[in-house]
């Protein structure tokens, strides 16, 4: 899920470059758009990296509903990013 927004930025970059190659965008505007897209891409990559290993549920186990505690104990990786990431 985290990479969808980055993929959209890459898709937008491709469309902007194509429009520039076809002469649909002035060179000055194209340069500014390229810079903006690059900056947004860097920001998204930094955000993705910062979220990569954060737990999805940082609360202590005892604060969870008893049924969820049971599920957590039976399936240790039930709420971890590794388990959720397997379904991407």
Per the structure, the count of domains in the chain is: 2
**CA-closest candidate to residue 47, choices 13, 16, 88, 9:** 9
What is the arithmetic mean of pLDDT over 65-84? 56
Are 7 and 46 in the same domain?
A: yes
Are 65 and 88 in the same domain?
A: yes
Are 68 and 43 in the same domain?
A: no
pTM of the predicted protein model: 0.57
What is the arithmetic mean of pLDDT over 12-23? 95
Helices (H), the chain: 4-21, 27-51, 66-74, 81-85
Are 60 and 46 in the same domain?
A: no
User: How confident is the model at residue 58, as a pLDDT?
Assistant: 60
pLDDT band at 3 (very low <50, low <70, confident <90, very high): confident
Domain of residue 88 covers 56-88
Are 41 and 23 in the same domain?
A: yes
pLDDT digits (tens, 9 = 90+) for 18-53: 999 999 999 999 999 999 999 999 999 998 888 877
pLDDT at 10 over 50: yes
């Amino acid at each position: 899920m985290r990479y969808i927004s980055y993929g959209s930025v890459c898709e937008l970059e491709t469309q902007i470059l194509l429009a520039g190659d076809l002469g649909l965008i002035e060179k000055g505007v194209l340069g500014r758009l390229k810079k903006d897209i690059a900056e947004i891409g860097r920001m998204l990559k930094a955000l993705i990296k910062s979220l990569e290993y954060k737990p999805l549920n940082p609360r202590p186990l005892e604060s969870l509903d008893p049924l969820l505690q049971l599920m957590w104990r039976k399936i240790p990786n039930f709420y971890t990013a590794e388990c959720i990431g397997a379904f991407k």
